[in-house]
Structure 1
Amino acid sequence: MEQTSIKTWAECAPRLVAVAAGRAPADTVIRKGQWVNVHTREILPHSDIAMAEGRIAYVGPDASHCIGDNTEIIEANGRFMIPGLCDAHMHIESGMLTPAEFARAVIPHGTTSMFTDPHEIANVLGLDGVRMMHDEALMQPVNIFTQMPSCAPSAPGLETTGYEIGPDDVAEAMQWPGIIGLGEMMNFPGVVNGSQQMLAEIAATQNAGKTVGGHYASPDLGPAFHAYAAGGPADDHEGTCEADAIARVRQGMRSMMRLGSAWYDVETQITAVTEKGLDPRSFILCTDDCHSGTLVHEGHMNRVVRHAIACGCDPVIALQMATINTATHFGLERELGSIAPGRRADVILTSDLTDLPIEHVIARGRTVARDGQITIDCPHYNWPDTARNTVHLGKTLTAKDFEIPAPAGATEVIANVIGVVENQAPTKALQERIPVRGGLAETEELAQDICQIALVERHRATGDVTNGFVSGFGYTGNMAMASTVAHDSHHMIVVGTSRADMALAANRLGEVGGGVTVFKDGQEIAMVELPIAGLMSDSPAQEVAARAQKMVEAMEACGCTLNNAYMQHSLLALVVIPELRISDLGIVDVRTFERIDLLEPAE
């Protein structure tokens, strides 16, 4: 495995000291910029930065004593010099890209550090998949740290994954060079109820001196929340309101506020800082997650920081939340997250702290992007065939597989329907009357927006299909959308108004080895192929984004007007976020973590 490495501080210390003292020349000097100091929340004009061995040796009013005959000079010309941006919580797979192509997409936006949880691929390929993601991450010219996934399955007994992760896997991974901690502990009921397996995974992480990621997706801030906090998670990104953010930081957790492609949770929580005046050191910005279209057209962490500023946050405080706060949380304050001696030389030049144009990006002392264009290579891992052939349906599906039989003699049934909520991860548990025609529950004659949803098992070739109903997409006509991105078990989710189209879409993904497809009136009108684990493409982000845009347009052509509806689609099987989800074992009420009947008798 090729690694793009950086020397440790100990290896560089003699040179850094010599450069700072003027006894040795720097590799690169940035001159005459405004130093945004996230340690002191100051902006210091007329400052220089001297870099050597990929680290910062000197930062202060005059670095002329650090300049030699071969020192590269970068003129800041009065621009702001800010630390490279950090994404504290994300899943690279959700961008539909491999780590290399994800890095290529976000580097021009100023992201130089990422803390990633590859639990998507863990559900499909187990520890081997995590290792592949970890290894490609270490090959990149920026800092991609890996959190060992904690929950595969995310809710034991309520879903079946391709592979399972246990305490022994966690203990092994804690020894890998790029592992920074434990991925989000989604099985919060397990922690609350004292699950030996969950607590063993947390203990293995803490024994290794690493950080435990949290995921408390419940509005209950009573004893259950306090029990979860006592279980060891150090952060949480599932808050959706000010009270959630305040509750977490009061318990010593970091509140991670996310702005992804579909989750807009910054504005409702940042008031804890901007209005309530809480100490911003406990607040962190993240994406969780951005798909390729957002990355190409809108940005990454620069987008999140701009949004926080637009919500009333002081620009330097917003930058702290995307730099030093993140680094400190993961025990890396001496490595990254600020412009200070000894740190990795990750620096952005920008002419405006509010609009935050990313004009020049330096990572590990090297220019990696200028004016939105990457200037460095991002090496690819050699993904094996075992990672590319992961969709196993077991049979050719037909429209009959998507029929929903009603009780004998019924003319109408009450259905438990998954209600999609725009721009939020939680769903609503709805109940709707569904007419019965020919012994089957049918939605065609309904005035309200209800269509069918199905989970197609794709790991063990069982041929099993779990059927249900979903509301909120607004689909009309004969159509179907199928995806092998189905958090977190990553079976196949098919949503449609036509059972024939649902079968066509499912079989199509079986043919190509995974991805997302949209069918209308029996014809495929969009396809995003994701051959690696059925989750990612190793094509460039621009190409994937173009295909994803056609997918969005195809969904709109079928009547869908939701913002980033694909992200909503991908979470319909996530059985750890309330209220209602679908799994290979049936319909799950996440409020009680129990399976429930799809149909109930109409009164």
Structure 2
Amino acid sequence: MMNTSVEERLAVIETTMGRRPPTVWFKGGQVLNVYTGAVEYQDVWVGGSQIAFVGSREEGKLNPDSSTKVVDVEGMVLVPGYIEPHSHPFQLYNPVSLTEKVLPLGTTAMIHDNLYFFRSLDDDRWQEWRERLTASAVHHFWWARLDAQARLDADEDPFTLERVKLAMSHPSTLQAGELTDWMPLLSGDQKRVAMVEQAHRYGKRVEGHSPGASYRTLSRLAAAGVTGDHESITVEEVLHRLRLGYMTTLRYSSLRPDLPDLIRGLLQQQAPVPWHRLMMTTDGPTPPALRQGHVDAMIRVAIQAGCPPEHAYGMVTLNPAVYFGLDAHIGGIAPGRSADINVLRSLEDPTPIQVFVRGERAAQSGRLLVEQPQPDWERFPPLISAPWRLQKKDVALSLEKGEQAPVIHLVNPVITQLKWEAVDEVDEERLFVSLIDPAGQWTTQAFLRGFARGIDGLASSYNGSGDLLLLGRDPDAMVKAGQRVLDNGGGIAWFQGGGESFFLPLPIGGKMSDQPIDDLIEKSEELVTKLKNFDHPFHDPIYTFLFLSSTHLPQVRLTRDGLVRIKDGAIIRPATPLT
């Protein structure tokens, strides 16, 4: 959770009692009171890092002096700093570069997925790195994942009960999950049940991940301890979750931009909308989506869809703060709360002119004013521990004439179907696809249809399992692309027509860039544009890379064990050892 030091508490007490001058005085503006929904003309007084008083100088009997910083906000509206309740801080970017991008947009608190860090770092390194982030201007909180979302060797599985309990016990951990693999919970698996129960004992929330689940399944998950879910794509699904007591999060992500339709659908219901049980999330936007904004963009979309502004702001301030037990510290402009304040031109324009965090100006006019702590990225485990060389046989299936082969069909950027085809003839849309152990121990091979036409060789170390993903029609180009990624410790590489067409380095464990997000936006958009020229049908290919080896979505996935059917875990085609 959040702790206030004795010194901080004394500073705000001395200020509110008039014995110490305020450090900051927001003068002459309006304040959105997220507790009542009212917009009122009020001054805001800060003592140190916290709000000391909201109201006039005469009412508060405060004593500003020459040391008090006066912020003239006449004609403007003050709202609380925004909270992102469901952040995936490794979508090519890293938590620091994400902070640098979204803080000037008004996001002052994020609750992050720990999946990649928990899998990659030992407990001491993870703890050290997490503590380093506490010096950030943004409030960083975390989930505690319960499963890997990919197939791992049993002796390599980091998700032991003891490790997960240790992660959940940390004050900055606010929830367990998200539960992408929830069947063990409903099956009564003792380890999974113990993890969920431990979360409740620590006072943590439990986030589900139940796309398309029926009312009955959602009810069973709630009985098993799940408290929230963000997977609604229809109004009926939203209402199911609300009726079952879930804290329900509406998405406006680069993969599922459902928010405006859900808002309009909720407003058409005869019953009043239970706004206090709703939150909003960007759900890990890929870099191109951040061009339009972050939480500020979500608020704008919600208001344009008809959501009353006070509720749009409440879904990203007070509501997540209450749900996660943080409302005594953040989520509103009130005495005793952290002075996290966004200064807006109007409620209809949620992108702030100025951003204050803990009473300090952190951003102005879209420009970051504070430096962020930089972890020692070199201490992250490398993509490979020993060099080895790819060969053509590692990347492409070798079949007899007329032999039937498994073909993964992309239904959308992340959902797949399995079909079998004879591969006698050349087909520009049917590509080889392989998942290869970066240490050179195994390869899983199949074909892929529906991604693009005529791609020679494309490789990515950014994927759900942390392995090397390759696809293309030309094994020689696939080897070149894969070797480029391996030789550089990670990245996305594309070879076409005999030469390199694209390369994005991902030096942080093969998954994250150390570059600013604005640079990543340009580079990612370049990749999307190039793929569109090869008839890529979807808007977000980065998510396809991520989920082809993630084992929580239908129908088939590439894994270290082979091509696996998700529903029953059957291995359609086993992995091949590499020598």
TM (norm. structure 1) is: 0.88
> 1:396-417: CA deviations, max 9, x gaps?
11222223244x5x62636342
Counterparts of 1:415 and 1:233, CA distance in 2? 36
Output one character per residue of 1:372-431: Cα deviation in whole Å (capped at 9) or x when no partner.
Answer: 00011101112344x15223586311222223244x5x6263634231415xx4x14152
Letter in 2 for 1:419: L
Aligned to 2:47: 52
Aligned residue for 2:536, secondary structure, equals coil
Equivalent positions of 1:159-170 (< 5 A) are 163-170=157-164
Name which of 333, 355, 371 aligns with 1:377: 371
Q: Which residue of 2 aligns with 1:440?
A: none
Partners of 2:386 and 2:267 lie apart in 1 by: 51
Compute the displacement of 1:331 (Å): 0.7
User: Which range is displaced more, 84-93 or 270-279?
Assistant: 270-279
Does the 8 Å CA contact 1:399/1:503 hold for their aligned counterparts? Answer: yes
Whether the 8 Å contact between 2:175 and 2:199 is mirrored in structure 1 is: yes
* SS of alignment partner, residue 470 of structure 1: strand
Q: Deviations over 1:477-517 (max 9, x none)?
A: 34222211212x22122222322222211111110111222
Equivalent in the alignment of 2:482: 506
User: What SS is found at the alignment partner of 1:106?
Assistant: helix
How many angstroms apart in 1 are the aligned matches of 2:235 and 2:568?
25
With over 3 angstroms needed to count, the CA separation of the structure-2 counterparts of 1:524 and 1:124, relative to structure 1, is: farther
Query: Are 1:121 and 1:129, in contact at CA under 8 Å, matched by a contact in 2?
Result: no
SS of the counterpart of 1:93?
coil
Residues 146 and 179 in structure 1, CA contact (< 8 A), matched pair in contact too: yes
Query: 1:75-123 CA deviation, whole Å, 9 max, x = no partner?
Result: 11221111111100011111x2332222111111110000001202333
TM-score by length of 2: 0.91
CA distance in 2, matches of 1:163, 1:54: 41
In the alignment, which residue of structure 2 is the partner of 1:279? 274
Give distance in 2, aligned partners of 1:24 and 1:505.
63
1:485 — aligned with what? 462
CA distance in 2, matches of 1:382, 1:272: 47
**Alpha-carbon distance in 2 for matches of 1:273, 1:536:** 37
Partner residue of 1:35 out of 27, 31, 37: 31
Q: Distance in 2 between matches of 1:378 and 1:570?
A: 27
Measured in 2, the distance between the counterparts of 1:467 and 1:393 equals 23
Compute the displacement of 1:293 (Å): 3.5
Amino acid corresponding to residue 421 of structure 2 in structure 1: R
Q: Which residue of 1 aligns with 2:539?
A: 563
What amino acid is aligned across from residue 140 of structure 1 in structure 2? S
Residue 250 of structure 2, aligned match among 229, 253, 257: 257
Q: d(CA) in 1 for partners of 2:296 and 2:180?
A: 27
User: Any residues of structure 2 matched to 1:299-314 within 5 Å, and which?
Assistant: 299-314=293-308
Aligned to 2:577: none
- Post-superposition Cα deviations, 1:153-195, rounded to whole Å, max 9, x if no partner, equal x2667x7896521110122223434222323122111111111
- Residues 416, 597 of structure 1: 8 Å contact kept: no
Instruction: Please state if 1:577 is matched with 2:574.
Output: no
Q: Which residue of 2 aligns with 1:137?
A: 133
Specify the code of the residue in structure 2 equivalent to 1:520. Answer: Q
State whether residues 430 and 453 of structure 2, in contact with CA within 8 Å, keep that contact through their aligned partners in structure 1.
Answer: no
| AA partner of residue 411 (structure 1) | G
- Give the alignment partner of residue 382 of structure 2, picking from 379, 386, 389: 389
1:121 counterpart residue number:
117
Decide whether aligned partners of structure 1 residues 15 and 86 sit closer, same or farther in structure 2, where only a CA change above 3 A counts: same
The question of 1:466 aligning with 2:460 is answered no
Structure-2 change in CA distance of 1:268 and 1:192 (3 Å): farther
Per-residue deviation, 1:368: 0.4
Number of the residue aligned with 1:88: 85
Q: How far is 1:329 from its partner?
A: 1.1
Q: Measured at CA, do residues 173 and 553 of structure 1 come closer, stay the same or move farther in structure 2, by a change above 3 Å?
A: same
Shift of 1:238: 2.2
Distance 1:215 1:176 in 2: 23
Give the 3 Å change call, closer, same or farther, for CA 405–479 of structure 1 in structure 2.
Answer: closer
Distance 1:89-1:364 versus aligned 2 partners, 3 A rule: same
Equivalent of residue 427 in structure 2, options 410, 433, 445? 445
Deviation at 1:550, TM superposition (A): 3.0
The one-letter amino acid of 1:233's match is V
What whole-Å deviation, never above 9, does each CA across 1:118-169 have from its counterpart, x for those lacking one?
20233334545643552342121110112222212x2667x78965211101
State how far apart, in whole Å, the 1-side matches of 2:172 and 2:227 are.
19
Q: Which residue in 2 is equivalent to 1:415?
A: 406
Secondary structure of the structure 1 residue equivalent to 2:177: strand
Q: 2:144 aligns with which of 119, 140, 148?
A: 148
CA apart distance, 1:70: 0.6
Aligned match of 1:435 in 406, 423, 447? 423
Deviates more, 1:323-332 or 1:477-486: 477-486
Deviations 1:285-332 (A, max 9, x none): 11111233433x221111122222222222221111111111111111
Cα distance, 1:339 vs. partner? 0.8
CA 1:270–1:587 in structure 2 vs 1: closer, same or farther (change >3 Å)? farther
Q: Quick check: 2:27–2:72 contact (8 Å CA) kept in 1?
A: yes
Report what 2:471 is aligned to. 495
Letter in 1 for 2:68: T
Residue 49 of structure 1 deviates from its aligned partner by 0.6
3-state SS of 2:522 partner: helix
User: How far apart, in 1, do the equivalents of 2:480 and 2:296 lie?
Assistant: 40
Q: Aligned equivalents of 2:474 and 2:499: distance in 1? A: 12
Asked whether the 8 Å contact 1:135–1:381 carries over to 2, the reply is: no
The 1-side partners of 2:74 and 2:456 are apart by 56
The answer to whether the 8 Å contact 1:454/1:467 transfers is: yes
Task: Give the direction of change, closer, same or farther, for the CA distance of 1:161–1:551 in structure 2 (3 Å limit).
Answer: farther
Q: Secondary structure at the match of 1:502?
A: helix
Match of 1:174, SS? helix
SS for the counterpart of 2:42 is strand
SS of 2:237's equivalent? helix
Residue aligned with 1:477, SS: coil
Distance 1:497 1:266, change over 3 A: farther
The answer to whether 1:110 aligns with 2:106 is: yes
How far apart in 2 are the matches of 1:450 and 1:279?
48
| Equivalent-residue separation in structure 2 for 1:64 and 1:565 (angstroms) | 58
Q: Secondary structure at the match of 2:84?
A: strand
One-letter identity of the residue aligned with 1:418:
H
Q: Are 2:346 and 1:341 aligned?
A: no
* Segment of structure 1 superposing worse, 32-41 or 582-591: 582-591
Q: 1:523 to 1:126 in 2, by over 3 A?
A: farther
CA contact under 8 A between 2:31 and 2:77: conserved in structure 1?
A: yes
CA distance in 2, matches of 1:110, 1:503: 44
Task: State yes or no: 1:516 paired with 2:514.
Answer: no
**Which among 189, 193, 198 is matched to residue 199 of structure 1?**
193
Between Structure 1 and Structure 2, how many residues are aligned?
A: 571
Please state how far the C-alpha of 1:264 moved relative to its aligned partner: 1.6
Judging changes above 3 Å, is the alpha-carbon distance between structure 1 residues 12 and 403 closer, same or farther for their aligned structure 2 residues?
Answer: closer
- 1:398 and 1:156 map into 2 onto residues whose CA distance is 24
Q: Residue in 1 aligned with 2:508? A: 532
Against the structure 1 CA distance between its residues 105 and 298, is the aligned structure 2 distance closer, same or farther, given a 3 Å change threshold? same
Task: Say yes or no: does 1:19 pair with 2:12.
Answer: no
Pair 1:375–1:6, CA change in 2 (3 A): farther
> Alpha-carbon deviation of 1:50?
0.6
Partners of 2:223 and 2:297 lie apart in 1 by: 34
